[in-house]
Amino acid sequence: MELKLENLTKEFQGFTAVDHINYTMRNGVYGLLGENGAGKTTLMRMLCTLIKPTGGKITCDGEDVFSMDGQYRKLLGYLPQDFGYYPDFTARDYLLYVSSIKGLRPATAKKRVEDLLTKVGLAKTAGKKMKKLSGGMKRRVGIAQAMLNNPKILVLDEPTAGLDPNERIRFRNLISELSEERLVLLSTHIVSDVAYIANQILLMKRGRIEHTGTAEQIISSMPEKVWICKADKKLVPALQKRYKLANVKTGASNTVEVRILSAKRPFSEAVQAEASLEDVFLYYFGEKSGDENDLL
């Protein structure tokens, strides 16, 4: 299975939300990481044939996905950002209902729904009404509905949004498990999610894929280094103007520990630290607040 994006572009009334993207995906987990408004949802909706590109194309094993139509949709599972559920349906009834819409035979649907409820850890709660489930449980029902047709391509838009740390870990494990022998594309603006589960990370900014690679490759692509040093609290605004500050931790008596991105050692007492994906995200997406001459 090869999903290929060629010069993929989407304009809305002259505004380019997705800008000439070229990228090829095969089996594995791809993490689309970008700020709000970067174009992630628009890209995913095109991949799911819900909206048409204004330029370029998407092919699946060489065939245009829009011409494949139903044949392509059979390969596809999608969890939208705001997945609409029926509050008074139980999780089980909801999944059976979606199965019928997807054209699964009743006996097949019944078995598939029970298997998926177990897989997403909801076998015991399947009889509860959806409105009584926690946010994380609802998202798991959302993943289950996307998996009903055993898709070869699974597209998950912000699957971990609003989840607590425990749910987030469960989710990551579930997604890794589901990624065997399929292509999973998930979007997020939470760096740690992609750092843990994505084999390939795509950094998206203003409609373009700015960088791609494994977490290690993306980290080593950052030209700046990471430094940790203690400073007087009063210096923080000036430091923020001069450098990208990854973190500011308050210490004892008016001191702070700052994590600075800089090509050169910012102070003689600064100690170099290992860069993380969070630092890289800040490097590519963060802004310095002003004129560096304001410092000191």
Ligand X SMILES: Nc1ncnc2c1ncn2[C@@H]1O[C@H](COP(=O)(O)OP(=O)(O)OP(=O)(O)O)[C@@H](O)[C@H]1O
Q: By the criterion CB under 6 A, which residues form the site for ligand X?
A: 12, 15, 17, 34, 36-42, 189
- Considering beta carbons, is residue 46 or 95 the nearer one to ligand X? 46
Which one, of 161, 217, 170, lies nearest residue 190 by Cα? 161
Tell me how far, at minimum, the Cβ of 290 lies from ligand X, in Å: 25
Q: How far is the CB of 209 from ligand X (least distance, A)?
A: 12
- 11 vs 224, which CB is nearer to ligand X? 11
Burial of residue 22 (number of CB atoms within 10 Å: 0-12, 13-18, 19+) = exposed
Cβ-proximal residues to 62 (8 Å cutoff; 6+ apart), any chain: 2, 4
In whole angstroms, how close is the CB of 186 to ligand X at the nearest point?
A: 12
When the beta carbons of 1 and 50 are compared against ligand X, the nearer one is 50
Place of tokens 């999973």: 184
Helix (H) or strand (E) segment spanning residue 18: strand 15-25
How far apart are the C-alpha atoms of 36 and 34, rounded to whole Å? 7
Phi, psi of 62, rounded to the nearest 5 degrees:
90, -10
Minimum CB separation of residue 242 from ligand X in Å reads 29
Looking at the Cβ atoms of 44 and 239, the one nearer to ligand X is 44
Instruction: Kindly tell me which of 46 and 104 has the beta carbon lying closer to ligand X.
Output: 46
Residue whose structure tokens are 């596809």? 76
Q: How far is the CB of 103 from ligand X (least distance, A)?
A: 29
